[in-house]
Amino acid sequence: MDLGLTGKVVLVTGGSGGIGAELARTFAAEGAKVAVTYRANREAAEVLARECGPDRGLAVHYDLTELASVDAAVEQVTRHWGPVDVLVANAISPGALRKPGKLFEELPTEDCASFINVNIAPVFHTVAKVLPGMREKKWGRIAFISSRAATAGKPGREAYGAVKSALHGFATSLAWDVGRDGVLVNTILPGLTVTPRVAEQVPAAVLERERAITPSGRLSCPGDVAQLAVFLCSAANGNTNGQFAEVSGGR
């Protein structure tokens, strides 16, 4: 099936590793021009950009803690290839995770507030920067990479869950706002996904326990998320808008 992504300009935030890197590879395989953003690991982003193919990959600095960095990233992509056709918002700034043995009330409120602000306002800002070009062309796709933490909480992840839940409210309202301009907005909720970092940091026994209680019999890999994102952000998706899709094997 032709997904109609050849030549489309795709901005993948948080694209230098894990799920983001696989998103970039999968879009590039469909002929898209992919801007891979990084905050600190420039080398990884540049390697991935080269992997995307000649003039199909671009490493772009993007720091959620600085709105000026967001502006500069979108402007760099636009100068290089033209307006962004597809935005995949995958970046998240770490922090405000409660340590084992600590109570929620022991987590400084200012840490929670800072974490929520730095992971919400820049997403709003990024969307605002790319929307004019999408509206003008009467075509665009936006995918938010959220998490099952938005709907299935875990101890210690209160601020993280709040951020992901906020994305859901934003995506739902945005879908109503831009749908008639040919811009479709959807949200993907990965469950436990075995990225290289997860494989390295999570004990094998824990991964096996999670796999055993997953209806599909296996844990998700980054490619599972990327394949869904590519479809939702393609011309093959004609009218799926404002939806939330879990990639969790049925959990």
> Annotated active-site positions, please?
160
Amino acid at 83: P
- Nearest residue to 12 via CA among 25, 30, 24: 24
Are the C-beta atoms of 64 and 91 separated by less than 8 Å?
Answer: yes
**193-to-143, 187, 201, 221 alpha-carbon distances in Å:** 18, 16, 12, 5
User: Please, which residues have CB within 8 angstroms of residue 41's CB and are 6 or more apart in sequence?
Assistant: 16, 17
Rounded to whole angstroms, how far apart are CA atoms 93 and 103? Answer: 22
| DSSP assignment letter at 212 | H
Q: Could you give the residue ranges of the DSSP H alpha helices within 103-242?
A: 109-137, 158-178, 196-201, 204-212, 222-232
| DSSP assignment letter at 46 | H
Terminal C-alpha separation, the chain: 29
SS3 225: helix
